[in-house]
Amino acid sequence: MNELKSSLVYEKDVQSLAMDFLTVAQKAAIASYPWIGKGNKIEADGAGTEAMRNQMNLIDMSGLIVIGEGEMDEAPMLYIGEELGTKKGPEVDIAVDPVEGTTMMSKGQNDSLTVIAVSTKGSLLHAPDMYMHKIAVGPKAKGSINIDASLTENMKSVAKALGKDIKDLVVMIQDRPRHDHLIKQVFDAGAQVKLFPDNDVNGSIATAIDHIEGDILVGMGGAPEGVIAATALKSMGGDFQGKLAPQDQEEYDRCVKMGITDPEKALTLDDIVKSDDCLFVGTGITDGLLLKGIQKPSDGLIKSHSFLTVSGNSEKYQYIEAYHS
């Protein structure tokens, strides 16, 4: 009985942090906004990182950065292992990217945003900064994917789950030469490719949103971004699988050092996010697939556009427009 009570309290604790982390994401995106199109992604990322860290330290929690700006000797703030918060609240794992899409943002291009994933302590995969093979779908296709199968097999399975003909399937793939073989499989199956330039967090989440065209995301991208996207999809009832792709022995050994004993193992959603008590929030910096960017209307206020999904809520997700002085 006590164990059940503890579990229920923990779920409430994670949910109760949602508005706090929404504020964190908004502050970080607004701090990065002046650097749009200025060609300096280091300054842009630094502004977002500092604002994010300062705001998180105000939250009543014992937070641990498990995915952040790098190791302690590489990053002065939001480094892996940094403890944040007032130490008075729930214990949580935090994965962040203050400016996802820094290069695009520095060039004034679309699809950059601030992203944060939060879950109960010890539940998020401590993914090294390396490549990960990924496949993601929304709630209607949950349970129909297998990262060890070919894309052709996965397309057939997802189409069946969605009640679609395979030729009506829309497959989201990042536009990179390493994905040419995947694009060919989509064309050969008669399905539709939807290429995007960067930021596969957006693409993964889009598979779970009805008004955005995209049934399945596949490809190889950053492992930290994979954990963040997986957290969002778990909150939304979707599905995600990944497989780390170390490029050399050094990367392989780093996985083992971080506690991943079999770095090339296929990872299910429950392997990546072990708890059902989690949340994701993103705030747009520039306009993109998922969100509008920061705007400055003529009334002098700053307008932000955010996306929030919290496990256990009756609402699968919320879009939030806010005005800031």
The alpha carbon torsion through 58, 64, 70, 74 (nearest 10 deg) reads 70
User: Which of 60, 64, 117 has the alpha carbon at shortest distance from 90?
Assistant: 60
Domain 131-272 has CATH 3.40.190.90: yes
- Specify the pairing of strand 131-137 against strand 239-244: antiparallel
* Contacts with 69 (C-beta within 8 Å, 6 or more apart), sequence order: 45, 49, 75, 77, 78, 79, 96, 98
Tens digit of each residue's pLDDT, the chain (325 residues)? 344 444 444 445 788 899 999 999 999 999 999 999 999 999 999 999 999 999 999 999 999 999 998 877 677 899 999 999 999 989 999 999 999 999 999 999 999 999 999 999 999 998 888 999 999 999 999 999 999 999 999 999 999 999 999 999 999 999 999 999 999 999 999 999 999 988 899 999 999 998 999 999 999 999 999 999 999 999 999 999 999 999 999 988 888 888 888 888 999 999 999 999 999 999 999 999 999 999 988 788 999 999 999 987 666 899 999 999 8
Q: Give the pLDDT confidence score for residue 314 in this predicted structure.
A: 61
Domain ranges of the chain: 14-121+278-324, 131-272
Cα angle at 88 between 82 and 126, to 5 degrees? Answer: 30
Asked whether residue 102 is marked as a ligand-binding residue, the answer is yes
Query: Is residue 103 marked as binding?
Result: no
Q: Which architecture does CATH list for 14-121+278-324?
A: 2-Layer Sandwich (3.30)
To the question of whether residue 74 is assigned a binding role by annotation, the answer is no
- pTM summary value: 0.93
The answer to whether 69 is a known ligand-binding residue is: yes
Q: Per the annotation, does 93 bind a ligand?
A: no
Nearest to 226, CA basis, from 251, 212, 205: 205
Residue 101 assigned to a binding site: yes
